[in-house]
């Protein structure tokens, strides 16, 4: 533990220790404490594992949320890698997964899958945009793979969002204004945005509907910065004299020269959604959901460099007089990193159909089918040019590339049943069972655009493509057995059969024999047992233990990705093994009249972890996604929640987590044994204090902390981690951030809010992208 973390951890632990002393004791209800996850027209008793929740009322009072991803950042051991409002790469981070491991947590909204398991990458985040913040009724989180109801991708945890469905006529409208003051290197400006939403719904007899429209128009800050690389041409070689460079030290402690700002994203997103329900009886409901998400995104570049005539210099050429630059007072030659603008346009569709019973009696059933398709998904980028790299306004538009992913997507079907031995929620046995199937389809074609990268057509022959499918079928059975008034055992298992097929890729840059590759189908069958035990030790204490296995199969992109072949060595591996995880948790929870305090010890043993590394057992070394034999992660989490703490109206909750994740066996790169898994912070902490000053006004102050983590694997050649300078652009840095919000209900219809995120203007990064600096929010809302 680093010394600069100690005061924060000590302060939080002291607050935890004080909570019991300041809360009034009360007799806890006899029998087991049961956490009930309430969805639309159903109630599922959760397994005896750690759960956390946040409600719409808490979100409104304490979080500056213009996107759904933002509501999770204050729950214990959780973080969403949202680099700006509207970021499509907002990976969900929990206890044991990193900010580039998207396939190790699972996100649902009304039982419809939002997680994107097409890849395990920073680029395949959950489809947060399919849920508008105005829809959210509550969010419930299960930590770890301890429920047989969920797939192996739940190894890190499960997020279940419940959205609103009206019981009377309702109408809502709101607008948010956003302004970020961003300063880094040669960029100093305000990045502004706006967000508007509207919702209307009603129930009339057996019919009910809920319609929402959500619009986000936001300018994000630059995401990367170009750097100059030292070159060694012959003496007397031609060059361009430039000025305007900025110098600092990179993550490895080496001097660097920053020359440009890249990737400032102007995103315009629209989400339109309708939910239509029909009640066949008071206990049987059918529902159809249609969501349409559309996005137009323009990423701009800015050159810091100027030539002797004052013209901007974006890039250096591949050859000729423009191949090198020199800076004033520096005798060295340099080349410049590629700087190019981009544009993307998407239209995604989500369909959901469900039929559920909610009798609460002996039998309940549900069937849920969903389809998510990238109906239109296209992205363009310009080629790097030696001079002007036009982003859309001038006459010069260079060539570029076009990637089309139309038709990529996934589909799911779940058939579930619940049997209660004596027909009540207090049954000695509650049996859950079901069948699941899914299919993921990858279609990606990249072509050269000979001219006008922004509007030109792609070449008839693609430069590369990737196709493939994966499919899983599963059966599960789980029994919640109340062995005695104070004891409850949950035991179950999930059997999964997975296969990958129709895989191929093409790369025109490879030698002819390897340009087109078609892969044989493959499959795997696995059983994942689950076990949990809960004991109400006294009126105030609950003790829990859980043990579970999960199998996370390779994603379709991990096994059928486009390949490149330096020295004619094939880099991809269509025979990747699935990750096999065994996780455990021990929990002690203390209950008070208006507070609770929880301590959790958790651990995970993972075999065949899918990590990008270098295989040093072959020559030349191959860098790719590979199976790392064993990774071990363990940690301690403390969490508390108190209502009317110290004074009436003050609600406080917080958490502190310490985690250690280590590679313990690696046959392909033995030098990594005993080193850290990247992007798992040693410490995390949250603290949220909300004061309900009056019935109309609430004030909230929140804190988020993340400690030391490495952005890459240990460097076995230099015998150190590369990020020896961890809190600069390019690293995965620590952060210490305060947020605030003031909510005022003007009357029963109107409310207004002012908020600030990152009050102290803390500069922090996620390899290499900068997170937002100080950002101001202003909101106005109308409810009918």
Pairing of strands 157-163, 106-109: parallel
Q: Is the pLDDT of residue 510 over 70?
A: yes
Write out the DSSP string of 319-336: SSGGG-EEETT---EEEE
pLDDT bracket for residue 614 (50, 70, 90): confident
* Residue pair 593/28 in contact by the 8 Å Cβ criterion: no
Residue pointed to by tokens 């059928």: 560
Residue 8: the pLDDT is 33
The confidence score (pLDDT) of residue 174 equals 96
229-286 pLDDT, tens digit each: 999 998 889 999 999 999 999 999 999 999 999 999 999 999 999 999 999 999 999 9
Q: Is it the case that residue 377 has pLDDT exceeding 50?
A: yes
575: which 2 tokens?
Answer: 């025979």
What is the DSSP code string of 11-76?
A: HHHHHHHHHHHHS---PPPSS----EEEETTEEEEPPSS-EEEEEHHHHHHH---SSGGGGGTTST
Mean pLDDT to the nearest integer, 419-438 = 94
User: Per residue in 651-687, pLDDT tens?
Assistant: 999 999 999 999 999 999 999 999 999 999 999 999 9
Closest C-alpha among 212, 398, 203, 408 to residue 317: 398
Rounded-to-integer distance, Cα 600 and Cα 96, Å: 14
Please choose, from the candidates 117, 136, 116, 130, the residue with its C-alpha nearest in 3D space to the C-alpha of residue 57. Answer: 136
Q: What is the pLDDT of residue 388?
A: 52
Model pLDDT, residue 572: 66
Express each pLDDT in 124-183 by its tens digit.
999 999 999 999 999 999 999 999 999 999 999 999 999 999 999 999 999 999 999 999
Region 736-749 average pLDDT: 96
The answer to whether 245 and 304 have CB atoms below 8 angstroms apart is yes
| Tens-place pLDDT, residues 66-111 | 999 999 999 999 999 999 999 999 999 999 999 999 999 999 999 9
33: left (phi over 0), alpha (psi -120 to 50) or beta: beta
Q: Name the nearest CA neighbour of 132 among 41, 220, 210, 207.
A: 210
Distances (CA, A) of 264 to 54, 203, 222, 225, 570: 32, 44, 4, 10, 35
Three-state SS string over 461-515 comes to CCCEEEEEEEEEEEEEEEEEEEEECCEEEEEEEEEEEEEEEEEEEEECCCCHHHC
Dist. CA 212–CA 195, nearest whole Å? 13
* pLDDT range class, residue 514, cuts 50, 70, 90: confident
pLDDT tens digits for 287-317? 999 999 999 999 999 999 999 999 899 888 8
**What per-residue confidence (pLDDT) applies to 18?**
38
pLDDT at position 26 is 29
pLDDT of 29 over the 90 cut: no
CB 391 within 8 A of CB 266: no
Does position 323 have pLDDT exceeding 50, yes or no? yes
pTM, whole model, 2 decimals?
A: 0.91
* Residue whose token pair is 């829809």: 135
**189-193, long-range: CB < 8 A, 24+ apart:** 191/84, 191/218, 191/219, 191/220, 191/221, 191/264, 192/218, 192/219, 193/66, 193/85, 193/86, 193/217, 193/218, 193/219
pLDDT score at 571: 56
pLDDT at residue 318 in the model: 81
From the list 347, 461, 457, 463, the residue with the least C-alpha distance to 408 is 347
Percent of the chain with pLDDT over 90: 80
Residue-level pLDDT at 387: 58
**Per-residue pLDDT at 39:** 36
Angle at 487 between CA 477 and CA 362, to 5 degrees: 45
Mean pLDDT of the chain: 90
Domain ranges in the chain?
3-783
In CATH, what class is 3-783? mainly beta
More confident residue, 510 or 418: 418
Q: Does residue 17 surpass a pLDDT of 90?
A: no
> How far apart are the two ends of the chain, measured CA to CA in Å?
52
Among residues 759, 597, 694, 758, the alpha carbon closest in space to that of 61 is found at: 694
């Amino acid at each position: 533990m680093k010394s600069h973390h100690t005061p924060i951890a000590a302060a939080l632990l002291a607050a935890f220790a004080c909570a019991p002393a300041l809360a009034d004791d009360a007799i806890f209800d006899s029998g087991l404490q049961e956490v009930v996850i309430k969805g639309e027209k159903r109630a599922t008793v959760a397994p005896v594992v750690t759960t956390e929740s946040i409600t719409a009322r808490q979100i409104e009072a304490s979080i500056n949320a213009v996107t759904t991803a933002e509501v999770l950042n204050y729950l214990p051991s959780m973080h969403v890698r949202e680099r700006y409002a509207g970021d499509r790469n907002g990976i969900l981070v929990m206890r044991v997964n990193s900010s580039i491991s998207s396939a190790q947590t699972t996100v649902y909204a009304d039982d419809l899958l939002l997680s994107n398991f097409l890849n395990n990458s920073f680029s395949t985040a959950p489809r947060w945009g399919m849920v508008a913040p105005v829809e959210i009724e509550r969010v419930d989180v299960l930590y770890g793979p301890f429920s047989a109801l969920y797939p192996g991708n739940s190894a890190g945890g499960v997020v279940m969002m419940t959205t609103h469905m009206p019981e009377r006529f309702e109408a809502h409208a709101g607008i948010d204004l956003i302004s970020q003051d961003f300063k880094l290197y040669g960029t100093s400006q305000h990045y502004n945005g706006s967000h508007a939403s509207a919702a209307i719904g009603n129930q009339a007899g057996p019919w009910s509907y809920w319609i929402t429209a959500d619009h986000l128009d936001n300018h994000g800050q630059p995401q990367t910065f170009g750097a100059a690389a030292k070159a060694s041409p012959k003496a007397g070689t031609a060059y361009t004299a430039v000025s305007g460079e900025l110098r600092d030290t990179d993550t490895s402690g080496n001097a660097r020269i920053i020359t440009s700002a890249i990737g400032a994203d102007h995103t315009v997103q629209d989400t339109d959604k309708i939910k239509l329900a029909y009640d066949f009886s008071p206990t049987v409901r059918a529902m159809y959901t249609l969501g349409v998400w559309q996005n137009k995104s323009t990423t701009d570049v800015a050159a810091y460099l100027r030539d002797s005539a004052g013209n901007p210099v974006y890039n250096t050429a591949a050859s000729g007089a423009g191949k090198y630059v020199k800076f004033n007072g520096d005798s060295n030659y340099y080349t410049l990193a590629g700087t190019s603008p981009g544009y993307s346009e998407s239209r995604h569709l989500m369909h959901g159909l469900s039929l559920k019973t909610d009798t609460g009696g002996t039998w309940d059933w549900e069937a849920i089918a969903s389809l998510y398709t990238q109906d239109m998904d296209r992205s363009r980028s310009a080629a790097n040019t030696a001079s002007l790299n036009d982003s859309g306004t001038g006459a010069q538009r260079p060539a570029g590339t076009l990637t089309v992913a139309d038709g990529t997507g996934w589909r799911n079907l779940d058939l579930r049943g619940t049997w209660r031995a004596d027909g009540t929620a207090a049954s000695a046995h509650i049996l859950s069972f079901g069948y699941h199937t899914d299919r993921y389809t990858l279609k990606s074609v990249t072509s050269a655009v000979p001219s006008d990268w922004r509007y030109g057509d792609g070449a008839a022959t693609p430069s590369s493509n990737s196709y493939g499918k994966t499919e899983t079928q599963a059966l599960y059975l789980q029994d919640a057995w109340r062995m005695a008034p104070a004891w409850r055992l949950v035991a179950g298992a999930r059997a999964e059969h997975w296969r990958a097929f129709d895989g191929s890729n093409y790369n025109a840059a490879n030698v002819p024999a390897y340009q087109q590759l078609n892969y044989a189908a493959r499959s795997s069958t696995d059983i994942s047992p689950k076990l949990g035990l809960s004991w109400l030790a006294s009126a105030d204490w609950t003790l829990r233990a859980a043990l579970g296995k999960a199998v996370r199969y390779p994603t379709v992109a991990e096994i059928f990705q486009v390949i490149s072949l330096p020295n004619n060595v094939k880099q991809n591996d269509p025979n990747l093994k699935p990750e096999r995880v065994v996780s455990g948790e021990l929990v002690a929870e203390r209950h008070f009249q208006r507070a609770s305090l929880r301590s959790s010890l958790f651990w995970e043993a993972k075999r065949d972890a899918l990590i990008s590394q270098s295989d040093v057992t072959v020559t030349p070394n191959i860098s790719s996604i590979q199976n790392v034999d064993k990774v071990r992660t363990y940690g301690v989490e403390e969490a508390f929640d108190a209502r009317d703490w110290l004074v009436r109206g003050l609600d406080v909750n917080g958490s502190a987590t310490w985690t250690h994740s280590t590679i313990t066996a690696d046959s392909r790169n033995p030098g990594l044994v005993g080193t850290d898994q990247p992007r798992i912070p040693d410490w995390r902490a949250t603290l949220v204090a909300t004061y309900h000053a009056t019935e109309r006004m609430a004030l909230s102050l929140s804190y988020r902390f993340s400690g030391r983590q490495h952005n890459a694997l240990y460097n076995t050649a230099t015998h150190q981690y590369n990020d020896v300078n961890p809190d600069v652009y390019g690293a995965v840095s620590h952060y210490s951030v305060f947020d605030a919000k003031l909510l005022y209900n003007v009357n029963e219809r109107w409310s207004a809010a002012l908020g600030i995120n990152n009050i102290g203007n803390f500069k922090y990064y996620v390899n290499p992208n900068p997170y937002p600096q100080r950002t101001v929010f202003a909101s106005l809302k109308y409810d009918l």
